[in-house]
């Protein structure tokens, strides 16, 4: 394995672990929201999730400047 391929693999693994962490955090938020409001519908969850994404984008934008995109998997 070349140094270049090792570095590429490292960055891919790091990216994958960040995505897994985002998904885990989203699952935890969804579980907390469902416990707090058991009657929350799927549509209500999606609206809540969009609010979370918007809020996190604002926070990241404040930290890093404009043009920040947050990708959240469902």
The helix/strand/coil state of 69 is coil
Q: Do the domain assignments include residue 45?
A: yes
Give the pLDDT confidence score for residue 52 in this predicted structure.
Answer: 83
Give the pLDDT confidence score for residue 34 in this predicted structure.
Answer: 77
Give the pLDDT confidence score for residue 65 in this predicted structure.
Answer: 55
Distance CA 38, CA 23 (A): 21
Question: In total, how many domains does the chain have?
Answer: 1
pTM beyond 0.85: the answer is no
Q: Do the domain assignments include residue 20?
A: yes
Give the pLDDT confidence score for residue 68 in this predicted structure.
Answer: 47
| Cα radius of gyration rounded to whole Å, the chain | 16
Please provide residue 37's backbone torsions phi and psi, each rounded to the nearest 5 degrees: -140, 85
Domain range for residue 37? 3-64
- What is the overall mean pLDDT for the chain? 78
Give the pLDDT confidence score for residue 7 in this predicted structure.
Answer: 87
Intervals of the chain under pLDDT 50: 66, 68
Please answer whether residues 22 and 74 qualify as being in contact, where contact means their C-beta atoms are separated by less than 8 angstroms: no
Give the pLDDT confidence score for residue 1 in this predicted structure.
Answer: 75
CA neighbours within 13 Å on the CB side: how many for 53? 13
């Amino acid at each position: 394995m070349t140094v270049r391929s090792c570095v590429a693999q490292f960055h891919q693994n790091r990216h994958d672990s960040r995505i897994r962490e985002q998904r885990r955090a989203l699952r935890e938020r969804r579980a907390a929201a469902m416990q707090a409001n058991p009657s929350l519908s799927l549509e209500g969850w999606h609206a809540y999730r969009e609010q979370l994404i918007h809020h996190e984008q604002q926070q990241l934008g404040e930290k890093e400047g404009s043009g920040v995109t947050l990708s959240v998997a469902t």
